[in-house]
Amino acid sequence: MAKEPKKSKQQRATEVCRRMEERYGNRGSALRYHSPYSLLIAVMLSAQTTDRSVNKVTPRLFDLWPHPADLAVADEKDVEEVIHPLGFYHTKARHAIECAQTILADWNGHVPDTMEGLTSLPGIGRKTANIVLNKAFGKVEGIAVDTHVFRIATRLGFTAAPTPLAAEQDLLSIIPQSLWGSVNETWIQLGREICSSRAPKCDICPLADLCPSAGSALRSPAKGIRKK
């Protein structure tokens, strides 16, 4: 199969973003938060679990430790008890406390609002930093590529990268910067509802005519390509 020209890929990517914004753009964040600090911790806790599960533990978590200064002096065992249902609670509790301590020591108690500052915090990688910059500070410096975004980008033929971190650079090169901000939230919705890892529902996917990986029935001469 001939390699797709970059211009064609850029056009497809722009149309994908347009459709995803049209379909999911008004849903907002699935994680509940009330400040940059609560968002930062919530996103950190969401690794390897669902946003719904995180939302079940964060009310008590932030009642007990509402500010970085409170969490910085928390007992690790107490934090583990609160977030135990999320899994990986030993590591998450340690990172949450260390993160709060670093915010207190290095950032005067305020969550940093730069990529460099955020990724200097314990347990915070580029994906989490992108989400916090976007939602808490209105800054868009990249695209948060989680498992859903990574899967969809791969199926759409936008990346062949081996990791989400590497895939971000491919997406940044073909998606206009003005559209970066909504990619994570809207593509996640598609991944949850339609483009699942095991059983993608290609027959009802709004991107089927743009997707090289769509089911063969959608591309057969008899049925043609779905139009949206």
- Is residue 170 part of the annotated active site? The answer reads no
| The one catalytic residue among 146, 201, 209, 227 | 146
Q: Write 84-92 long-range contacts (CB < 8 A, 24+).
A: 85/53, 85/56, 85/57, 86/45, 86/49, 86/53, 86/54, 86/57, 87/48, 87/49, 88/47, 88/48, 91/123, 92/44, 92/45, 92/47, 92/123
Residues 125-164 as b/e (b if ≥16 CB within 10 A, e otherwise) read: ebbbbbbbbbbbeeebebbbbbebbbbbbbbbbbbebeeb
| The one catalytic residue among 9, 127, 135, 170 | 127
- Is residue 209 part of the annotated active site? The answer reads no
Catalytic site positions: 127, 146
